[in-house]
Amino acid sequence: MLRVLTVACMPPLRHARSAVALTIVALLVGALTAVERPSTVSENQQRLVSSSSPTNAGKVYRWGLAAWKDEFRPRLSRAWAVNHRKLVRNQNGMLTLDGTARSGTVTATVKGRAHRYGRWEARVRGQQWGRGHRPYHVIWELVPAGDYRCGGRSIVISDFTVGSGRANSYIRTAPRRQFVASKARNLGNYAWHTYAVEVTKKRISWFVDTRVVMTERRDAALSGTRFKMRFRLAGAKGARMNPSRMQMDWVRYYTLERPNARSVAAPQARRGSYAGAC
């Protein structure tokens, strides 16, 4: 009788052991999952931090608050002088310059607010529709505050054609001196990049996407000119152009009151000549 009872009780015991084993496995899996979750969250947080990293040199080098800025909302400020009223406007928080096949060069220049020294920075992109004709040059620059007709005394903060792979910077001084620096970038349609220049009595430094690319200290590059800022979608005179657009998300001017939080040491520019000076 006892033997029968023992045999009868065996199956329930095996089931109980199986159930216990399954429960232990489930608890272990849950524990492992719980251990892994913080790591996954941490990676996500790191990606968020990375995506929210500063995109402007003003933040990285701690230039402080901008002495003047425009974020292009809601309508075009009277501070801007334009040469084609119908082709320059604020669009969705962006200063927008449109170049048609025959419009020629389109410009937007800040009236007044000229400075001999300081820091200028803007976030810029270009777009192009169609090919087969001349490309526009997307140019963000500082030009002399007085009467200005040629590029003999100017600082080009960025100059590129849409779809190219390199942005250029030029320091131009009389009579025909030119100092050139460049940076490889993706300059396809809608690709944003931030360009800045810092001008002091002793040097000029060029920044691209928060990094200093060039620092020029030679006396021949330091003109002491009072500059005003200009955006220019430059077309070739008399040529048929690929319709294009230049847009700025924001533009800022900072004084030199606060020192740089990081070194601005960088290679000097390449020296040459500029045939377009007058």
Share of the chain above pLDDT 70, in %: 81
| Nearest-angstrom CA–CA distance, 143 and 150 | 9
Provide the pLDDT for residue 156: 98
Instruction: Give the number of other CB atoms < 10 A from CB of residue 262.
Output: 12
**Residue 277: pLDDT band by 50, 70, 90 thresholds?**
confident
**What ranges make up the beta strands (E) of 111-162?**
118-128, 137-144, 154-161
Residue 193: the pLDDT is: 98
Q: What is the pLDDT of residue 276?
A: 83
pLDDT value for 107 = 98
Q: pTM of whole model > 0.85?
A: no
Minimum mean pLDDT among 45-49, 56-60, 210-214: which range?
Answer: 45-49
Q: H or E stretch including 34?
A: helix 2-51
| Per-residue pLDDT tens over the stretch 4-56 | 434 344 444 444 444 444 444 444 434 433 333 333 333 344 333 344 688 99
pLDDT in tens, 95-117: 999 999 999 999 999 998 999 99
Q: Residue written as tokens 């790591």? A: 39
Is 99:243 a contact under the CB 8 Å cutoff? yes
Percent of the chain with pLDDT over 90: 74
Q: What is the pLDDT of residues 152-190, one digit of tens each?
A: 799 999 999 999 999 999 999 988 999 999 999 999 999
Q: Which residues contact 161 (CB under 8 A, 6 or more apart)?
A: 126, 135, 136, 137, 138, 187
pLDDT at 164: 94
214 neighbors 206 (Cβ within 8 angstroms): yes
pLDDT for the residue numbered 146: 82
Q: Does domain 57-273 have CATH number 2.60.120.200?
A: yes
Tell me the C-alpha distance between 47 and 49, whole Å.
Answer: 5
Q: How far apart are CA 149 and CA 141, in angstroms?
A: 14
Those residues with Cβ within 8 angstroms of residue 36's Cβ, 6 or more apart along the chain or in another chain: none
**Structure-block tokens of residue 241:** 């152009």
Q: Are 175 and 276 in contact (CB under 8 A)?
A: no
Confirm if 68 and 113 have CB atoms less than 8 A apart: yes
The domain segmentation of the chain, as residue ranges, is 1-53, 57-273
Question: Could you tell me the pLDDT band of residue 214, with boundaries at 50, 70 and 90?
Answer: very high
CA distance linking residue 128 with residue 224, whole number of Å: 36
Q: Count CA atoms closer than 13 A to 17's CA, side-chain side.
A: 5
For the segment 135-158, the average pLDDT, to the nearest whole number, is 91
Burial of 237 from C-beta contacts in 10 A (0-12 / 13-18 / 19+):
exposed
Mean pLDDT of the chain: 85
Better pLDDT: 49 or 237 = 237
